A and B are shown apart, each in its own frame.
Chain A
Amino acid sequence: MHRRSFLAGALAAAPAALGATACGNGADSTAGSGGRTQLSYGMWDPLQVPGMQKIMKAFEAEHPGITVKLQVIPFAQYWTTLKTSMRGGSAPDVFWMNAPNLRLYASNDTLEPLGEHIRRDGFDMGVHPEELVGIYSYEGEHYGMPKDFDTIGLWYNKELFDRAKVPYPDESWTWETVYDAARELTDPKGSVYGIAAEMQGQYCYYNSIPQAGGYVIRDGKSGFAEPETIEGLRFWTGLVDRGWSPTASAMTDTSGRQLYISEKVAMNYDLSAMASMMYAAPGIKDHGGVAVLPKGRKRATTIHGLANVISAKSPHTEAAWKLVKFMGSKKAAEIQAREGVTISSYTGTQDAWVKSMPEFDLKVFIDMLDYAVPYPHSTYTQAWENLQYQLLGSSWTGHGDGIAKASRTLAQQMDLVLEREN
């Protein structure tokens, strides 16, 4: 009975779904009733839906002939869905893009090049951080309009610092200061650790590698065999080996972020975008703080941000460009900043975000733009990021392979992946 009704349901649903897509395409290709153009906008973060709706409303007010429909696809399925719909030709007209995927999409001609539109309308890309504009360029052509950005800061817990009588982090801090503080802050009896040294690129070693003078990828070659890069990795594994951070094994089920929020670690490198989450945790709101990343040989922080891109298959390229241009404007950036979820990438609109949480010194995230390093990426970013977990992971457990050897193996493997890109 159960099975039969399930089958019947599936059979009934199949033609309905087909019909729906067919209708959708029809409405897309011919302007809908009343001469209006309908654009679809693909995104993954449900938290940003209210903000996006406000932006779309403002856009529709300026462009009476165009309506925009939000299409929220959960991140876990976002890229698979997008790939499939790209093949089938039903992809959203405008959608969110991130650094790891940009080149994969751009190099397969699935994105509309923006250069000509930008030149024709005289749009100044200089209003967005250079590193972000760079991430969304491929072979000298613009493919994305930056939307927001993230940098990494050192989050700390003032109460735990006070208890261990350690001065709060500030711009004078270096790697040595971090080590000294982590030692002082670690309290085995209270099961408190100095820092959460996670096996994670963006929050952790993508920052320490350039700080040590190394690099992750340059000119299509892996940097993991470079001694400076290995030094950047060792900054983290050293903290684990000394017992001043939980091991990666301990942070598999409970992330460093969760440990920081539950006040089990005194320091944690984390995203600016997590500010609102920290703000929602009463303890952290009361005695949490944030500082610029401590200096290694150099100063560095990883910058990443999303961008709006146009599908090359969209039948409404002009309308889609109008939307993308609007979303890259000051007006849209201000609406987004007021929502407080992310930092808008438009220069000068970040104040609203900084002021929205006065307890935290959020200005440090903007100040760090001066020496921000773009999130490392290439065409098959996902492939070599997966390799990092497979090959480096055990070095974060306190009794794994030596990090130097593991990192050199990773370099070799990563170069194999990168060969495929040429």
Chain B
Amino acid sequence: MDAVASKPQDYKSELKPVWCPGCGDFSVLAAITRALAELGLEQRNVALVSGIGCSSRLPAYTSLYGFHAVHGRALPVASGLKLARPELTVLAAGGDGDGFSIGGNHFVHACRRNVDMTYIIMDNSVYGMTKGQASPTTEADWTGSKLTPEGPGLSPFRPLEMALSAGATFISRAFSGDPLEVTRQICAGIAHEGFSFIHVLSPCVTYRPEQKGWREFVHADFTEPYTDRREAFLRLLDDDGFTTGILYKSQTPPFQTRPKPVEPVSVLGDQFAI
């Protein structure tokens, strides 16, 4: 059991995903395993944390330490794990509903906190597990859901702008149909010291079949990561939501706790002595 795994297959479990044939998440799972193999990380030293939703089923399909938590809470679980066990490589993964709606507050504060971990959002602009409702990234006029027959009527959430303004130090976007790019970004995100946000456009072929056409829309125009927030913001103003590549990287030191292991527990009571 000492040998370091080196093949993507070694990072997969024997479980068969619950996803629909053609789901973009298969490629993301493959990209995660490929990235871990490329980096030569031992499974036992990597943890993958998720919330609830189609893509959040991902940890069980890996041979890593996984945590399939409750809806929206992947980031705090992952943050607690990383802060308590800084030597581990910690990944968090999930969907747009999990990360931007119910977990939206944690997303903002995880960007601010800049804990050294990598967050992969598989965005398909729909709640798949509950069978096709509008998510925060759904277009305002999408009428495909019985819950919002006239469309959600809200302006779509803009994840990259949000991440940038909240303080994420690594921001990128990829298309699941380009698994090599997803792999490259995951490798770069893991290597980055700080909170890495990877926005993956991952089509839902069941409730948003039109997303099969995303291949035609994506364009790899985030060519060189900005290190200046102002430039990154300006670039995002021209983003059509389909620009891929690494947008932004900064060298802000990651948040970490600084324990000072100096005293035995027995001395703590002294402060109460009369």
Query: Is this pair of chains taken from one and the same complex?
Result: no
Give B residues with C-beta under 8 Å from A: none
